Amino acid sequence: MRQWYYIIDHNKTGPVSEVVLRGMLGAGVLDQRTWVWTDGFPGWTLVSHVDGLGDGTPIAWPAVDPADRLPEPTQEEREPWFLHIGIANLLLMELLSGSLFQLYWFYRNWRYLRDRDREPMMPFWRAYLNVFWMHALLRRIRRDQQLSSTRPPAFPAGVLATIWVALNTGGAVAGLRHEEYGPIITGLAAHAGCLCLVPVQSAINQANRRRSPQPRMSRWNLGLVVRLGLALMLATSVLP
């Protein structure tokens, strides 16, 4: 059976059978402007130029590989899905900010969902009351259609959310019961909870890298590392 390759989001994908290719065309995943290739073709061509697939437009083979002259991605296409940040930077910011970066992580992802889906929500309060919204956020990221279009996320949303809530609530309760070591216990529990975000962030980063080899990272994220580092050095220099 003939196998087909196609270009989507500037990436060559395949092979797929003709049945699958027709199904993607019927579902609107691909359209008449999609570049395709199969064994026997002298080069890539548009679906609209392929007999039996297109709309009957005469075949006009391109002289060069269209992947070499695809248009530059738009600003919207360069913007990452959800909060894009490297795992090492995520953990570093967590340590430098004393777990405050987790609040920002929740806020940015809720804000992304609000802006993209135009939902009437308040990201700040969902981030501030993250214990009550943790399960909802991880489930939405886990089932997000954008992320699944490149590679379905495989992290266990319910398990990670439950562990995160247990660590943070348990750490807060234990901190109240132990006056001397309370802040240390609470801080360690919060830092341990950040590890639950690592599989989620890894899935987001993988999806962003698949759609764009060099997804953009917010300048705020990069600058925060420097600012927090300077603040930490200043604080330690003035402490006895």
The chain-wide mean pLDDT, for the chain, equals 79
Q: Which pLDDT value is given to residue 59? A: 42
On whether both 157 and 204 belong to a single domain, the answer is: yes
Q: Are residues 163 and 149 in the same domain?
A: yes
Taking the C-alpha atoms of residue 149 and residue 132, their distance in angstroms, rounded to an integer, is 28
What one-letter code names the amino acid at 220?
W
CA 171 to chain centre: 29
Domain termination residue (choose one: 71, 97, 115): 71
Q: Indicate if 11 and 118 belong to the same structural domain.
A: no
Q: Determine the 3-state secondary structure of 54 from DSSP.
A: coil
Query: pLDDT for 2-14, tens place per residue?
Result: 788 888 876 778 8
* 55 vs 68, residue with greater confidence: 55
- Considering the domain architecture, whether residues 47 and 128 belong to the same structural domain is answered as no
Percent of the chain scoring above 90 in pLDDT: 29
CA dihedral defined by 137, 141, 142, 144, rounded to 10 degrees? 130
At 8 the pLDDT is 81
Q: Which of 21, 52, 71 is the last residue of a domain?
A: 71
Q: Give tens-digit pLDDT for 112-133.
A: 999 988 889 999 999 999 999 9
H or E element in which residue 190 lies: helix 182-194
Least confident interval from 12-21, 86-95, 176-185, 201-210: 176-185
How confident is the model at residue 6, as a pLDDT?
85
Do 123 and 65 lie in a common domain?
no
Domain containing 40: what range? 3-71
| Contacts (Cβ under 8 Å, ≥6 apart) of 112 | 81, 82, 83
Residue 198, token pair as written in the block:
């690592």
Quick check: 200 pLDDT over 80?
yes
Q: Are residues 93 and 162 in the same domain?
A: yes
Rounded to whole angstroms, the Cα distance separating 63 from 166 reads: 61
63 & 111 share domain:
no
Looking at the structure, do residues 34 and 127 belong to the same domain, yes or no?
no
Residue 74 CB: number of other CB atoms within 10 A? 8
- 86 plus 195 within the same structural domain: yes
Entry field: residues in the chain: 240
CA–CA gap between residue 197 and residue 128 (Å, rounded): 16
Same domain, 129 and 167: yes
Regarding whether 61 and 9 lie in a shared domain, the answer is yes
Distance between CA atoms of residues 240 and 236, nearest Å: 8
Checking if the pLDDT of 156 tops 90, the result is: yes
Residues 6+ apart with CB under 8 A from 172: 186, 189
**At 14, which CATH number?**
3.30.1490
Model confidence band, residue 70 (pLDDT cutoffs 50, 70, 90)? very low
Identify the domain boundary among 71, 99, 114: 71
Domain count, the chain: 2
Nearest CA to 78 out of 213, 223, 201 is that of 213
Instruction: Kindly report the pTM of this predicted structure.
Output: 0.62
